[in-house]
Structure 1
Amino acid sequence: MDLRLRLADLADVPRLAPVMDAAIGELQRDVLTPEQIQSSRTIMGIDTALITDGTYFVVEWGPDVAGCGGWSRRATLYGNDSTPGRDAALLDPARDPARVRAMYTHPAFARRGVGRMVLDACEAAARAEGFTALELMGTMAGRPLYEAAGFVVVEELEDARGGAPVPLVRMRKQLAPEGG
């Protein structure tokens, strides 16, 4: 499979939304109830600030979007453009972990290296800006990928802002020094 990774731009948003919707609806089916999946759609999705900041990636296979995801140098840990409690404050790379954000793989491309490709790009970009750690809020469906990539659980919680409580896991990873 010839996967190609590039930075996203705002023109990609109409192509990303269906991928996110399919990932939320299909990849979480084995770990969430239908009510929790619907609730997930309220608290997850596109955060265009990541695209504007130049920290969001698209993975394409030919004309198709296989997945997307990014990282952030801002304080918001997860959520979409309309999620309450967003915080655009810049993080201090010497003190704060960069955030891995909005990771989605189209179900047709699941378990083919799409998520790992995005995580590797996020890690390299955050390290290049001086960050020494990454943090993310993972879904139950995404947790195995993040654990395989070296993330460890910091906290387990539920987010009920969308109605039904959605189980989530805050995870962190220390970055190896550049070249290490």
Structure 2
Amino acid sequence: MTLTSRLATRADVDVLRALMDRAIAELLPGFLSDEQVRASAAIMGLDTQLIDDGTYFVIESDGVPAGCGGWSRRATLYGGDHAASRDSALLDPAHDPARVRAMYTDPAYKRRGVGRMILELCERAAADEGFTRLELMATLAGEPLYRSYGFAEVERTEDARGGAPVPIVRMRRDITS
């Protein structure tokens, strides 16, 4: 299997949202209750600002979307278009970490390097813009990948905006490139 990457476009939105729905429905149940999985779907999702900013990637295997994710130079740490907490203020690379955002792997491609590829792309792109650190908000399902990539826990918290408290982990990593 050969993975390729490209920047997402607005034409990808429907396919990406379907991929995200599959990832949430199939990859989170081993870590969360059914109620928390449903709440996760209300909290997470695609932030199309990332597509508009040219910082959101689609990973493909033979032209089939296998995953997606990106990074941001904006203040929002997590949440999709529907999140009221979105903040489009630009970050200062001299002081702020770039945000890794909205990473999802299609369940058919889990544990095949999709997530690591997204992280490598994000790290390179953020470094090219002068950022020296990355930050993200991890689900419990994503935490092992981020730890293996060198992210360290900053804090554990919960987000109950979706109707049930969903545990999430704020993590940070220095850019090494």
Query: Could you state the TM-score of these two structures normalised by the residue count of structure 1?
Result: 0.97
Supply the distance in 2 between the matched residues of 1:169 and 1:119 (Cα, whole angstroms).
Answer: 17
Instruction: Please tell me whether residue 47 in structure 1 is matched to residue 47 in structure 2.
Output: yes
Supply the distance in 1 between the matched residues of 2:49 and 2:149 (Cα, whole angstroms).
Answer: 25
Supply the distance in 1 between the matched residues of 2:121 and 2:62 (Cα, whole angstroms).
Answer: 20
Structure 1 letter corresponding to 2:152: V
Supply the distance in 1 between the matched residues of 2:28 and 2:42 (Cα, whole angstroms).
Answer: 15
Supply the distance in 1 between the matched residues of 2:28 and 2:39 (Cα, whole angstroms).
Answer: 12
Supply the distance in 1 between the matched residues of 2:98 and 2:61 (Cα, whole angstroms).
Answer: 28
Aligned to 2:93: 93
Unaligned runs of 5+ in 1: none
Structure 2 letter corresponding to 1:3: L
Aligned to 1:129: 129
Structure 2 letter corresponding to 1:149: Y
The CA deviation at 1:143 is 0.2
The CA deviation at 1:61 is 1.0
Instruction: Please tell me whether residue 35 in structure 1 is matched to residue 40 in structure 2.
Output: no
Structure 1 letter corresponding to 2:75: A
The CA deviation at 1:84 is 1.1
Supply the distance in 2 between the matched residues of 1:63 and 1:13 (Cα, whole angstroms).
Answer: 16
Query: Could you state the TM-score of these two structures normalised by the residue count of structure 2?
Result: 0.99
The CA deviation at 1:68 is 0.1
Aligned to 1:115: 115
RMSD, aligned CA: 0.6
Supply the distance in 1 between the matched residues of 2:17 and 2:31 (Cα, whole angstroms).
Answer: 22
Instruction: Please tell me whether residue 65 in structure 1 is matched to residue 83 in structure 2.
Output: no
The CA deviation at 1:63 is 3.2
1:56-95 Cα shifts (integer Å, max 9, x gaps) = 0000112321000000000000000010111000000000
Structure 2 letter corresponding to 1:166: V
Runs of at least 4 residues off by over 4 Å: none
The CA deviation at 1:148 is 0.3
Unaligned runs of 5+ in 2: none
What SS class does the counterpart of residue 35 from structure 1 fall into?
A: helix
Q: Percent identity?
A: 63
Q: How many residues align?
A: 177
Alignment of 1:130-169 (within 5 A): 130-169=130-169
1:98-156 Cα shifts (integer Å, max 9, x gaps) = 00000000000000000000000000000000000000000000000000000000000
